[in-house]
């Protein structure tokens, strides 16, 4: 598969100062740069320049970046995206701070996706020579997730987005939600380009909207610790701690100070090219989303930014 | 302190067969006896004859038993209860299956409390000679908690119940909920007779009612596993997985098939005779009950049996 | 990358009955077939026919199988292996029970490697329609790992093995052990074909030998539970519970009844095509292998089968 | 029972500066006072003035303090100790910084024990009004245990020490190690005054020596984190992470910079006055000490300070 991972999420925040404080002191990300009104953050176990960009004004997703392994693959997906019929453009190196040239396209769901093969590797604090397993100040402020993990977007037409990701970008579908045995319309699709249970997901909803973006934690114990930190900081909990039926992961969903939804996520099975897609029928949607609780709160279903 | 622990809870279940199946196969308790329509259960790490009795008809608490260390202490609390003004009677050995003679009294809150000093020690499956840390079939069916832990009852007059437990039974108060600095009426009181954060608790509400009784698990990981088993068995979740502000414990609340509420509980600090009582003011009640979420669902506040 | 994962390990056991009992009742694997003196096992979260074969006689590795995604890739690696100079042969479908046709080659280190693109998918007990996160009898007997994870072999010439895996099979090196800055001879190499920290590893030692093969557990808590089960069954512990510096994983090493070494492994970071190889110098070998203990027991260094 | 808990341990350290650095930055204790060459430390969840005193010169235990609930009980144990035949003296309030008047006695094993009923309550950082479950800087430096837990001392005559603790101080024996069914000489005795599995323990060995003193952690995950911190700081590991058969606790033993042995400990069952003493026979001593490994390293058996 040609795409490696979700490299960055770029979001709008209606109160930028509050957002910067939140990503720094509650989520415990490292601010690596601030330029032209944009704040750049990364997690402690990420090698590239940044994984989160926040800018002032409104809410929701400006764009997201997925990193591919080589320039050849970048050229290949560029061509594929054009053939698929998307609006595609090249972005010069450095137009995205710390990121090489990119291919920008607008998904059928109106979200902006950038693909790129190169980024400045600023490395991590533990380094690559006889490294410690984690930096000594990992927990000094905030949750301190290892890395950005995935995002979930809404799309009026889930199937066409899935077609693009699978046919052009080489993603595969690990799980899907359908009305039932006699109606296989995609209500939700969970796609992977790695060995994770998902690298991106789409559920039926308004085009162009962000449901959440998620950070990885190493264990269910770290989920509890994250919850404590969210509680201490009076962050609005959307749902969790909980277990997903889909992905089997463990989770807390919460709303940042301006309303963008984040998730801390841990666990889940491994996928491979021969992974048999798991199907959830709509009558089991509760168990699919929150396996223990088996029902989904209204806000989770309707709040997007 | 003269009282050792909550020895047994005796509850009514409107559908006894469903309840027996639930305590056996979901909670994973061991049924140790069935006699005269009563089913007796124990947890794997309990030495005494049983810790749970269920009988047919209705819902809620028939009575609860706390075990004291010696017959002398039993006589002392009997006298103390009479002096406190409670209705007190002696229960013959064996009237409670497997339990020695008891002192029965009716609390100011109309709950029936039995105190006893002796019980048949049927022991545990790992024994007391070169024991394994847990029985090999602990997880064969259901959650498999280590032991019964505590219960929470509602009382119109929390203070008088607390007076009885502290003055006569030697309990101490670890935490309390009050309206605020200028009104110290007890809305909730958490009492310990051991080194645990609580062995019984009372919150303001109708007399004679049961809010929940709780089983102990060893870790937050066991809480997740319990949640998975509850989900698999379609048990109604009331709230959790969550962190308590009060006690610092971790928890899931859930409703048995007939509506009695149970909890799986793990963690919490240690208490001693010199423990300084922690105070929660009503404006922080959300954080007190569910620290991460900071709000309490309506059912948790109102559903009692 | 064309190779998906370690699909099966095939080992010799000097006392087959003891080994079958051990893999069944201690490791908690499912025996899926027994034919021509070979016993076939799989883990609960594996979809293919089997992941472990044991046969009578001696100790050590008969062969290992890595699964590739397509027949085209199988043909490509066949050609690559021949060009690399290995002895290569085709194995008919079904010659390996439940496995499609394979390409068999003998590594520079004299280990036998099979690559294959197809296997009978017998599925898992939770299925792919509204599945539970784990089967209800997962813990009924033994450790019950999710899946086979990786193996570690010894090679007189680590570099040439690494050349084959990276140049022909598309693996990448996540970590390496070298004498020091002025001597970069490979004493150990950790290679991945997935997003895991390693899918195979080689350390300097006698050709053709097996150091260990490892099973995946979901958490450090599962590592403790595995340890308890090993203790209960008097399985010889080699080392652990411990933390690896290399991979950051957590681990217990132990010796099966005949002396083949197994590992239960959990955790570790994620790798991608752009992962910067981590270097350990020989003076830090203790920390590399067992980060907490920072020294390696003699048996771990010398016992291979 | 009249004794509440181990209140403080007072040890000698041959290099005081190294010891202070170790207790501060590796164990993550809070230094609360330094006076007359003595450094005073406490854990984050302890209310009293201090729980550890270190002073210059040599190694091993100067003395230990157990806190009783009232002055009456202090008088009672004073009388009991005298009647038992120990050398007993009164220590003025303040002679031990922050500690009220004490009864000092020398055990049959030549260790110095102080009992006291009062200490300055300096409180904790989270306070007792609407407290957070843990202070935000708990993990800022070092391991950060919740509290001092227990110690293990060696005694030529274990039985007489046990007699004193049980007959005079009201401790009970949770577990014992004996040669076997026909010889019940106490080789080891684990005693509790709380609901913990042990508050003090004695094993056969030279009089006056310290085997280790232990700090409490909340979970097996915290044990791993502690191990990582020990590894990062190059602290000498004695044994673990491991599971005890005795107490069922989880553990790491390690040697401070001068050689005094510490333990981080978590878990274990609850005890009550009716707890049936568990017996380990010497042939199972490996399983008793380290259940998973079932053998004890030589240093653990012989190194005392």
Q: Which of A207, A217, A191, A211 is nearest to A66 (CA)?
A: A191
Residues of C annotated as catalytic (active site), given as ranges: 150, 198, 212, 244, 253, 263
What does the alpha-carbon distance between residue A260 and residue A210 come to, in Å, rounded to a whole number? 8
Total beta-carbon pairs less than 8 A apart between chain A and chain C: 101
Give chain B as a DSSP string.
--EEEEEEEEEEESSHHHHHHIIIIIS-PEEEEEETTEEEEE-TT--BS-SEEEEESSSEEEEEEEEES-HHHHHHHHHHHHHHT--EEEE-BTTBTTB--EEEEE-TTS-EEEEES-B-B---TT-SBS--SS-TTTTSSS---SEEEEEEEEES-HHHHHHIIIIIS--EEEEEEESBTTB---SEEEEESSSSS-SEEEEES-TTEEEEEEEE-SSHHHHHHHHHHHHHTTPEEEEEEEE-SSTT-EEEEEE-TTS-EEEEEE------TTPPPEEEEGGGHHHHH-TTT----HHHHH---
Q: Between these two residues, D66 and B139, which has the higher pLDDT value?
A: D66
pLDDT at position C139, please?
65
Interchain pair A132, D232: CB under 8 A: yes
CB–CB contact B4 D130 (8 Å): no
Are D221 and C221 in contact, with CB atoms under 8 Å apart?
yes
Q: Quote the minimal CA–CA distance from A182 to chain B in Å.
A: 25
- Beta pairing partners, B153: B202, B210
Query: Cα-Cα-Cα-Cα dihedral of A151, A155, A158, A163, to 10°?
Result: -70
Helices then strands (H, E): number in chain D? 6, 17
Tell me: the pLDDT tens digits for B204-245?
Answer: 999 999 999 999 999 999 999 999 999 999 999 999 999 999
Q: B102-119 pLDDT, tens per residue?
A: 999 999 999 999 999 999
Give every CB contact of residue A302 below 8 A, 6+ residues apart in sequence.
none
In the block, which residue shows the tokens 């280190």? C109
Greatest Cα pair distance, chain D, in angstroms, is 56
Q: What is the mean pLDDT of chain C?
A: 96
Q: Which residues contact B159 (CB under 8 A, 6 or more apart)?
A: B185, B186, B189
Active site residue D211: no
Confidence of residue D1 (pLDDT cuts 50, 70, 90): very low
Question: Which of A49, A212, A272, A295 does the annotation list as catalytic?
Answer: A212
Q: Do B270 and D147 touch (CB under 8 A)?
A: yes
Please tell me whether residue C24 adopts helix, strand or coil conformation: helix
Q: Do C136 and B232 touch (CB under 8 A)?
A: yes
Instruction: Give the chain C residue nearest D233 (alpha carbons).
Output: C292
Q: What is the mean pLDDT of residues B141-149?
A: 95
Q: Tell me, yes or no, if A198 is annotated catalytic.
A: yes
Are the beta carbons of C236 and C257 closer than 8 angstroms? Answer: no
Residue window 232-291, chain D: list those with CB within 8 Å of chain C: 234, 237, 241-243, 250, 252, 287, 291
Rounded to a whole number, what is the distance in Å from the CA of B120 to chain D's nearest CA? 11
CATH number of A147-302: 3.10.180.10
D212 is catalytic: yes
- Cβ atoms of residues C250 and D224 within 8 Å: yes
For D41, D143, D259, D262, the CA distances from D22, given in Å and listed in that order, are 12, 11, 12, 11
Q: Which fold, B3-116? A: 2,3-Dihydroxybiphenyl 1,2-Dioxygenase; domain 1 (3.10.180)
Cα D158 from Cα D108, distance rounded (Å): 9
Q: Which of D73, D133, D245, D294 to mutate to test the interface with B (most CBs of B within 10 A)?
A: D133
Contact with chain D for residue A184, Cβ under 8 A: no
**Where are the alpha helices (H) located in chain A, listed in sequence order?**
16-21, 71-84, 158-163, 220-232, 285-289, 298-302
- Catalytic choice (B244, B272, B291, B293): B244
Residue A101 tokens, joined: 């040239």
Structure tokens at B168: 């006569």
Chain A contact probe: residue of D132, D135, D136 with most A CBs at under 10 A: D136
| A19, two tokens | 């957002």
Residue A1 pLDDT grade (very low, low, confident, very high; cuts 50, 70, 90): very low
CA C179, chain centre distance (Å): 25
Closest residue to A219, CB basis, from C121, C196, C220: C220
Residue D283 contacts by C-beta under 8 Å, 6 or more apart in sequence?
D180
Task: Give the pLDDT band (50/70/90) at residue B1.
Answer: very low
pLDDT at C1: 47
Angle at which helices C220-232 and D220-232 cross, to 10°: 100
C-alpha torsion sign, points B103, B104, B109, B111? positive
- The candidate with the shortest Cα–Cα distance to B254, out of B5, B27, B56, is B27
Q: Count CB atoms within 10 A of the CB of residue A150.
A: 27
CA closest to C293 among chain D residues: D237
DSSP class of C165:
I
Residue B292 touches chain A, beta carbons under 8 Å: yes
Q: Which residues of B touch D130 (CB under 8 A)?
A: 245, 279-281, 284, 287-288
On whether any CB of chain A is under 8 Å from the CB of B221, the answer is yes
**What pLDDT is recorded for position A163?**
98
Q: Which of C128, C195, C275 sits opposite A279 (nearest CB)?
A: C128
Residue C220's closest CA among C256, C248, C199?
A: C248
Q: Select from D67, D45, D49 the least CA-distant residue to D127.
A: D45
The CA radius of gyration of chain C, in Å to the nearest whole number, is 18
Q: Return the partners of chain A (3 or more C-beta pairs < 8 Å).
A: B, C, D
Place of tokens 């068999």: C104
Which residues of B are less than 8 Å from A250 in CB distance?
224
ipTM for the predicted complex comes to 0.96
Query: Cβ distance B177 to B282 under 8 Å?
Result: yes
pLDDT at site D139: 65
Q: B177 pairs with which residues across the strands? A: B188, B280
Q: Do C42 and C48 touch, CB atoms closer than 8 A?
A: yes
pLDDT at position C141: 77
Distance from CA of D234 to the nearest CA of A (A): 12
- Model-level pTM? 0.97
- Which sign does the torsion angle of CA D21, D27, D31, D35 carry? negative
Of the partner residues A133, A221, A228, the one whose CB lies closest to the CB of residue D228 = A133
Sheet containing strand A236-243, strands side by side = A236-243, A250-255, A261-266, A209-216, A147-155, A200-204, A188-192, A172-178, A278-281
pLDDT category at D137 given cuts 50, 70, 90 is confident
Q: What is the spatial distance between Cα B48 and Cα D272, in angstroms, rounded to a whole number?
A: 12
Task: State residue A157's pLDDT score.
Answer: 98
- Rounded distance, CA A205 to CA A190, Å? 15
Q: Which residue of C has its CA nearest to A244?
A: C133
Question: Which chain A residues are closer than 8 Å to D136 by Cβ?
Answer: 232
A291: nearest CA partner in chain B: B231
Residues A277-297: what's their mean pLDDT? 96
Instruction: Express each pLDDT in A138-152 by its tens digit.
Output: 767 799 999 999 999
Tokens representing residue B116 in the block: 């006893």
Whether B133 and C228 lie within 8 Å, measured CB to CB: yes
- Cβ pair A69:C274 closer than 8 A: yes
- Strands (DSSP E) contained in A14-69 are 30-35, 38-42, 52-56, 60-68
E strand or H helix that includes residue C228? helix C220-232
Element (H, E) at D35: strand D30-35
CB pairs under 8 A between C and D: 51
């Amino acid at each position: 598969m040609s795409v490696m991972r979700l490299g960055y999420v770029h979001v709008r925040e209606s109160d930028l100062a509050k957002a910067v404080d939140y990503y720094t002191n509650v989520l415990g990300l490292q601010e690596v740069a601030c330029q032209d009104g944009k704040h750049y953050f990364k997690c402690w176990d990420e090698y590239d320049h940044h994984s989160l960009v926040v800018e002032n004004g409104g809410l929701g997703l400006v764009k997201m970046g997925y990193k591919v392994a080589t320039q050849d693959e970048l050229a290949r997906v560029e061509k594929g995206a054009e053939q698929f019929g998307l609006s595609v453009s090249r972005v010069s190196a450095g137009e995205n701070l710390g990121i090489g040239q990119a291919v920008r396209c607008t998904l059928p769901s109106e979200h902006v996706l950038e693909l790129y093969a190169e980024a400045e590797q600023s490395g991590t604090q533990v380094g690559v020579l006889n490294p410690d397993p984690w930096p000594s100040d990992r927990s000094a402020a905030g949750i301190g997730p290892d890395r950005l993990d995935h995002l979930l977007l809404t799309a009026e037409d889930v199937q066409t987005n899935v077609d693009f990701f699978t046919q052009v970008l080489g993603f595969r579908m690990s799980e899907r939600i359908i009305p039932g045995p006699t109606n296989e319309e995609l209500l939700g699709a969970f796609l992977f380009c790695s060995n994770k249970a998902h690298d991106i997901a789409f559920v039926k909803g308004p085009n162009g909207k962000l449901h959440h973006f998620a950070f990885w934690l190493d264990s269910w114990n770290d989920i509890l610790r994250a919850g404590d930190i969210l509680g201490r900081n009076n962050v609005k909990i959307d749902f969790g701690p909980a277990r997903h039926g889909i992905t089997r992961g463990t989770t807390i969903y919460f709303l940042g100070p301006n309303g963008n939804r984040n998730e801390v996520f841990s666990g889940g099975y491994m996928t491979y090219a021969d992974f048999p897609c798991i199907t959830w029928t709509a009558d089991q949607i509760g168990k699919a989303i929150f396996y223990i609780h088996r029902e989904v709160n209204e806000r989770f279903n309707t709040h997007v930014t």
